Chain A
Amino acid sequence: MPLLWLGLLLAATLGMEQLEGVLRLIEPDSREVIYRRDTFLALLVQHVMVVLVASLLAVAIGVGAAIAVTRPAGRDFRPLVGQLASIGQTFPPVAVLALAVPVLGFGTLPIIMALLLYGLLPIVRNTLAGIEGIDPAVHEAARGMGMTGVQVLRQVELPLAAPVILAGIRTSVTINIATAAIGATVGASNLGDPIISGIVNGNTAYVVQGAVLIGLLAISVDSLFERFMPRLAPR
């Protein structure tokens, strides 16, 4: 399934020119029906890179923070971090993106920051839920076997919490792909570009090209998670 979607995504990215006839049907009056300010491949790569960088950072910081506040030394911060993660999720991603611009300016950096901040929340929340959802008896047993704190974390807590953590990462990445597209309005060039430019110029064919590619990207990534999640889960 993921291969099918990825194949479609690549085919659509590279072969958009071939679809000119079909797109002409949507927009018979416009001079130009294929978005040409940038190649679709470049836009796709930009989109994926921004999401990838933001998501990797979010995973590192989010899982790290959740682990830190579930250790004895960081336990004081646990209530605040938990509440912050749940309140933060009520913030709409667009608003977070909009607030990042006055602070960080236009371009790719504010988008990565906004995606990172927003993407943290589901990861932190799920990592906390995953680690704290482990049966205390399991924890006790691992300790009783003479495992150290680090060993318990690496060999017991993280593997058991992995499915829940991965579900959080999946949510985070899905939101990030969508929000990155809106980032085209703050000066990052990615797959949101054709959509915005199509809306501004009243060229529906541009909109369709951008929308189809983003849709395919989102579905491909989601099906990748779908495919590999059960494999990682039981260990």
Chain B
Amino acid sequence: MAAERHASPNWVLLSLMLAGLLAWLSLDAVSVAPNRIVAGAPHRAYEVMGGWPMLLVTLPMLGVMALAWRPDSRRLRLAVALVVALLAALPLWLAAAVWALVDPSLPQARLGIGASVWLLLFLWLLVLLELRTRLGLARWQGWALLLPVLAAWWLALAHWLEPLALNREYQGRSDQFVAAIGYHLALVGAAVGASLLLGVALALAMRRHAGLQRAGFAVLNFLQTIPSLALFGLLLAPLAWLSARVEWLSALGVSGIGWAPAWLALVAYSLLPMVRNTFVALEGVDAGVLESARGMGMSRQQVFWQVRLPLALPVILEGVRITTVQAIGLTAVAALIGAGGLGTFIFQGLGQAAMDLVLLGALPIIALALLADALFGALADGLRHGGAR
């Protein structure tokens, strides 16, 4: 069975690479514009420096396809190396495109990344994911593979990709960008922190009173179905009214727009996953374990703090993970009611039809969400293994 499996071609890799190859050869790779306002002139990959740099990207792709035709573990490892090299080489290709296409005498000239480059990035990451699964690599090994790629991109962005449109948008507002990330994370942290405290308290109360449990879950489920934009909007009026009437609230900076409605809405949305996971986690601890802890002479308090809570912690952390990822996305919407954060760039960009500004907001948001997901996932895994000993 195993020998047969190695012999048959890996169709997943073959079709992904073929799709990438077709996109690379047929779609626009970059666009060049003399300034921010004018629409860019599109260029295919083969139009850059007579197509030689394009070949350097094409050949490794063909190589991966050849390796995928008769895959065994050694060939798949080689394919991983090739794909990592490709991902790291893409910014160098862009640097070549900048050198060849962008007029250095125009200070505002910019190079936009086109459809085929985005598609390649996406498809190659999928290839890496597939290879990771086939080779049975651990999650951290997958992340480690991306380190040289990130280093190459960082190097290229710092030295050779100054005219990249995304980079130009960043240069114009680098202080704002850093502040926006900080503010975004602060808002998410404050909301998740508050909902963690509130959620655990609520879950503990629900375990005591069955009536509260039913009513609580009904209300939280109801809240979750209300669209975020609507909830932000509905909080506007009451908060504006409150801050106009209550002096100490307005002194705190609470008003109809800004962080206050955003934070409230984020907490409201975060409560359901938090309470649900905490409740399930605390209820789900094996009764036999609790029994034996009692048998050892532990008091109720000790059983809760030393047995029930530590065993429930991984599932509670899962709630924190879901909540954090969700809050990172919702905070972007909150920019519409003036809450700041990375969503500001998205909506500013949409307003000015400046797509690279949209990307400057959207890409970090996705990166933050993925990072938060990986971080809490790893933490929960660690706790589970530590607790199982």
Q: For the complex, give the distance between the alpha carbons of A215 and B365 in Å.
A: 26
Contact assessment for A218 and B227 in the assembled complex, using a CB-CB cutoff below 8 Å: yes
Within 8 A of A (CB), among B276-328: 325, 328
| B362: interface (CB < 8 Å) | yes
Within 8 A of A (CB), among B207-264: 222, 224-231, 233-234, 236-237, 240, 256-257
Contact assessment for A222 and B225 in the assembled complex, using a CB-CB cutoff below 8 Å: yes
6 A-B pairs with least C-beta separation: A92-B329, A178-B227, A211-B233, A102-B355, A211-B230, A207-B233
Nearest residue, chain A, Cβ from B347? A185
Chain A residues lying within 8 Å of B373, measured Cβ to Cβ, are 90
Contact assessment for A95 and B329 in the assembled complex, using a CB-CB cutoff below 8 Å: yes
Contact assessment for B361 and A199 in the assembled complex, using a CB-CB cutoff below 8 Å: no
Chain A residues lying within 8 Å of B224, measured Cβ to Cβ, are 174
Chain B residues lying within 8 Å of A26, measured Cβ to Cβ, are 237
| B20: interface (CB < 8 Å) | no
Q: Which of B237, B329, B363 contacts A208 (CB 8 A)?
A: B237
| B126: interface (CB < 8 Å) | yes
Q: For the complex, give the distance between the alpha carbons of A80 and B337 in Å.
A: 38
| A195: interface (CB < 8 Å) | yes
One digit per residue, 1 when the CB lies within 8 angstroms of any chain B CB and 0 when it does not, for chain A 74-116 equals: 0011011001100100111111001101110010000000000
Q: Which residues from chain B sit less than 8 Å from chain A, CB to CB?
A: 10-12, 115, 118, 126, 129-130, 133-134, 222, 224-231, 233-234, 236-237, 240, 256-257, 325, 328-330, 332-333, 336-337, 343, 346-347, 349-351, 353, 355-356, 358-359, 361-363, 365-366, 369-370, 373
Q: Which of B11, B126, B330, B347 contacts A84 (CB 8 A)?
A: B126
Contact assessment for B225 and A174 in the assembled complex, using a CB-CB cutoff below 8 Å: yes
| A63: interface (CB < 8 Å) | no
Contact assessment for A94 and B230 in the assembled complex, using a CB-CB cutoff below 8 Å: no
Chain B residues lying within 8 Å of A214, measured Cβ to Cβ, are 226-227, 229-230
Kindly provide the distance from the CB of A128 to the nearest chain B CB, expressed in whole angstroms. 15
Chain A residues lying within 8 Å of B115, measured Cβ to Cβ, are 103
Nearest residue, chain A, Cβ from B8? A76
Q: Which residues from chain A sit less than 8 Å from chain B, CB to CB?
A: 26, 76-77, 79-80, 83-84, 87, 90-95, 98-99, 101-103, 106, 174, 177-178, 181-182, 185-186, 192, 195-196, 198-199, 204, 207-208, 210-212, 214-215, 218-219, 222
Q: Which of A79, A196, A204, A211 contacts B240 (CB 8 A)?
A: A204
Q: Which of A83, A174, A215 contacts B129 (CB 8 A)?
A: A83
Chain B residues lying within 8 Å of A95, measured Cβ to Cβ, are 329, 332, 346, 362-363, 365-366, 369
Interface of A is mostly: helix
Nearest residue, chain A, Cβ from B334? A94
Contact assessment for B366 and A196 in the assembled complex, using a CB-CB cutoff below 8 Å: no
Chain B residues lying within 8 Å of A215, measured Cβ to Cβ, are 226-227, 230-231, 234
Contact assessment for A181 and B229 in the assembled complex, using a CB-CB cutoff below 8 Å: yes
Contact assessment for B225 and A195 in the assembled complex, using a CB-CB cutoff below 8 Å: no
Contact assessment for A199 and B337 in the assembled complex, using a CB-CB cutoff below 8 Å: yes
Q: For the complex, give the distance between the alpha carbons of A9 and B126 in Å.
A: 43
Q: For the complex, give the distance between the alpha carbons of A80 and B134 in Å.
A: 10
Listed residue (A79, A94, A207, A211) with the most chain B CB atoms within 10 angstroms of its CB: A94
6 A-B pairs with CB atoms under 8 Å apart are: A90-B373, A98-B349, A177-B227, A199-B257, A218-B226, A222-B225
Q: For the complex, give the distance between the alpha carbons of A94 and B327 in Å.
A: 12
Q: For the complex, give the distance between the alpha carbons of A182 and B133 in Å.
A: 36
Kindly provide the distance from the CB of B321 to the nearest chain A CB, expressed in whole angstroms. 9
Contact assessment for B370 and A178 in the assembled complex, using a CB-CB cutoff below 8 Å: no
Kindly provide the distance from the CB of A31 to the nearest chain B CB, expressed in whole angstroms. 18
Q: For the complex, give the distance between the alpha carbons of A94 and B228 in Å.
A: 11
Contact assessment for A76 and B350 in the assembled complex, using a CB-CB cutoff below 8 Å: no
Kindly provide the distance from the CB of A125 to the nearest chain B CB, expressed in whole angstroms. 14
Chain A residues lying within 8 Å of B332, measured Cβ to Cβ, are 92, 94-95
Q: For the complex, give the distance between the alpha carbons of A199 and B365 in Å.
A: 23
Nearest residue, chain B, Cβ from A204? B237
Contact assessment for A80 and B129 in the assembled complex, using a CB-CB cutoff below 8 Å: yes
Q: For the complex, give the distance between the alpha carbons of A215 and B353 in Å.
A: 29
Q: Which of A92, A182, A195, A218 contacts B365 (CB 8 A)?
A: A92
Chain A residues lying within 8 Å of B118, measured Cβ to Cβ, are 103
Q: For the complex, give the distance between the alpha carbons of A62 and B236 in Å.
A: 37
Q: For the complex, give the distance between the alpha carbons of A106 and B233 in Å.
A: 24
Contact assessment for B130 and A79 in the assembled complex, using a CB-CB cutoff below 8 Å: yes
Q: For the complex, give the distance between the alpha carbons of A186 and B134 in Å.
A: 40
Given contacts A95-B362, A222-B225, 11 further A-B contacts (CB under 8 A): A77-B11, A77-B12, A91-B369, A92-B329, A92-B332, A98-B361, A101-B358, A186-B350, A199-B236, A199-B336, A208-B233
